Amino acid sequence: MHRAGFPVPPPRREIKWNTTARLITDACRVPLGATVHYRSRSPFVVELALHTPSGEVVWRLDRDMLLAGTEAPTGLGEVHIRPAPYEQVVLRLGDPSHAALISLDRHHVLRWVTTSHSMVPVGTESSHIDWQPFLDVLAG
């Protein structure tokens, strides 16, 4: 139940994109299954799951940063994203000395982020967060 004065967020929506990413090594590019997931209740976050032979590796990325990385290098800490030749986007994930380089098709990334913007337009993200569980803990 929501408290009076606190708006109820819009209904939950989510989208998934199943694709093939490429792990860039010194010798070649290794195809990896990947799932990109966006949930309206976590409107700032894009979840990238890489399906490796040893299991799934999940990274949580900033949606705005993913979009910005299709046009120019961006990133802080363990996540850096930049455009690359042949209409690719390269993500450097992890500590620079042990990072994985992953490439995705730039046009598909742009189309997918645009779809997420139709669900949760830029600037409206906070209205999609369900603050009630947080408020319940504080009131606890």
Q: Provide the CATH topology of domain 14-121+128-139.
A: Transcriptional Co-activator pc4; Chain A (2.30.31)
pLDDT for 137 equals 85
> How far is it, in rounded angstroms, from Cα 41 to Cα 13?
8
**What pLDDT digit, counting tens, does each position of 23-56 carry?**
999 889 999 999 999 999 999 999 999 999 999 9
Extract the tokens encoding 42. 């976590």
Interval 57-84: pLDDT, tens: 999 999 999 999 999 999 989 999 999 9
Torsion, Cα of 79, 14, 121, 138 (10° steps): -80
Q: What is the DSSP pairing of strand 88-93 with strand 100-105?
A: antiparallel
Residue extents of the structural domains in the chain:
14-121+128-139
